[in-house]
Amino acid sequence: MSKVAIVTGGGSGLGQATAVRLAEEGVNIAVVDVSEKGGNETVEKVKNAGADAIFIKADVSKAEEVKQYVDKTVEKYGQIDYFFNNAGISGSGEYFLNTKIEEIEQIVGINLLGALYGVRYVADVMLKNGGGAIVNTASSAGVIGQDSVVTYSATKHGIIGLTKSMVAEYAKDGLRLNAIAPGPTETPMVKAFYEANPEMKENAESGIPQKRLGTPEEVAELVTFLLTSKAEYINGEVIRIDGGFTNTK
Q: Are 53 and 4 in contact (CB under 8 A)?
A: no
Task: Tell me the sheet residues that pair with 134.
Answer: 83, 177
Q: How large is the angle between the packed helices 13-24 and 36-48, nearest 10 degrees?
A: 20
* Sequence-distant (≥ 6) Cβ neighbours of residue 218 within 8 angstroms: 185, 241
Task: Give pLDDT tens digits for 218-236.
Answer: 999 999 999 998 999 999 9
* pLDDT score for 70: 99
Domain boundaries, the chain: 4-248
The pLDDT profile of the chain, 249 residues, written as one tens digit per residue, is 899 999 999 999 999 999 999 999 999 999 999 999 999 999 999 999 999 999 999 999 999 999 999 999 999 999 999 999 999 999 999 999 999 999 999 999 999 999 999 999 999 999 999 999 999 999 999 999 999 999 999 999 999 999 999 999 999 999 999 999 999 898 887 778 778 777 777 777 788 999 889 999 999 999 999 999 899 999 999 999 999 999 877
Active centre residues (catalytic): 152
Predicted TM-score (pTM) of this structure:
0.95
| CA diameter of the chain | 52
Note the pLDDT of residue 233: 97
Top CATH class, 4-248: alpha beta
Write the pLDDT tens digit of every residue in 73-95: 999 999 999 999 999 999 999 99
CA angle 227/230/232 to nearest 5° reads 75
Q: What is the phi/psi pair of residue 205, to 5°?
A: -65, -40
Hey, is 13 helix, strand or coil?
A: helix
The number of residues in the chain equals: 249
**How many other CB atoms are found less than 10 A from the CB of residue 56?**
20
